[in-house]
Structure 1
Amino acid sequence: MKEILREIGMISRCLATISDIEFKDIQLGKNQYLYLVRVYENPGIIQEKLSQLLKVDRTTTAKAVKKLIEQGYLEKVQTQDNKKEFKLFCTQKGKDIYSFLEKEENHSSKISLVDFNKEEEKELLKKLHSMRIRIENEWQEIKKGKKRDY
């Protein structure tokens, strides 16, 4: 049923547009808030793990992280055991806006799920998680060069 993926896509694009508008005053655009939130929630994460967590390529992550560092939201700290590896942390500026970002996420979740009871929310999450795992597995294979059979 292709309508399901289309609905998910529309939800994603609406939320991205809302965040671009609402976060304009704090210079967070193009989903940069996602990177900031994940680093806040996973202090010391390396860029590769951040890419995996967000399901984006390393180049996209590198650009977003670079911009967030330039804006003073994140900092890189070189690891002791691997001089090529850097851990990411929120600066005080990044930590200070996290509660605002969290409030926006909570509000969007609340609006999105207004007609759902707790059991329906759990079931929806379970189904979406299952969908994501299957798509993620295929995504991993395609990144390695596999062609899909239609």
Structure 2
Amino acid sequence: MVEILRSLGNIARALDSISNIEFKPYELTKGQYLYLVRVCEQPGIISEELSTMLKVDRSTVARAIKKLESNGLVERRSSGTNKKNKHIFATERGLSIYPIIKAENDYSNQVALMGLSQAEKEQLARLLNQVEENVNGDWELVKKGGIRGYLKQDADHD
């Protein structure tokens, strides 16, 4: 079997570690920059959408947004029609940091793809999108209380 998840995990952890160090002056730690980027790109997003987009549970989103809010990077506003859902917006300070985060992402992407031809880059993007789509199915299943295939055999024997 071809093993890709370790490499993907190592890449993700390395880039996350770099970002946490580089974004420390902006009071962005522990992946909070991911939340800020999504809020900047989709003003008025709600926590549930962030949860689905970033593949994390709602309590993780709530903690991250609370921290960003306390650092003056985002604010939550009630909707006129639905008071329960708070829409999240970047503050002026948050918006001013967004181009720095975007530049870091573009640079990291450029470094990661060094030595690959344009055709290889496009193929890699297509393949990774397919891998992501495959994993998303399991994420949705488990999030809704389902049991993935490798566990069904154990459950049938109990």
TM-score normalised to the size of structure 1? 0.96
Gaps of at least 5 residues in structure 2 are: 151-158
Distance 1:145 1:40 in 2: 32
Gaps of at least 5 residues in structure 1 are: none
The one-letter code matched in structure 2 to 1:96 is S
Distance 1:63 1:38 in 2: 15
Q: What is aligned with 2:19?
A: 19
SS at match of 1:77: strand
Q: What is aligned with 2:40?
A: 40
Q: What is aligned with 2:110?
A: 110
Distance 2:138 2:11 in 1: 22
Show the 5 A alignment for 1:1-150: 1=1, 3-150=3-150
Q: What is aligned with 2:154?
A: none
**Offset of 1:116 from its aligned partner?**
1.3
Please say if residues 141 and 148 of structure 2, whose CA atoms lie closer than 8 Å, have aligned partners that are also in contact.
no
SS at match of 2:76: strand
Q: CA RMSD in A?
A: 1.0
TM-score normalised to the size of structure 2? 0.92
SS at match of 1:59: helix
The one-letter code matched in structure 2 to 1:98 is Y
Larger radius of gyration: 2
Q: After TM superposition, where is structure 1 displaced by more than 2 Å over at least 4 residues in a row?
A: none
**Offset of 1:25 from its aligned partner?**
1.2
User: Deviation per CA, 1:34-58, whole angstroms, max 9, x where unpaired?
Assistant: 0000000001111110111111110
The one-letter code matched in structure 1 to 2:78 is Q
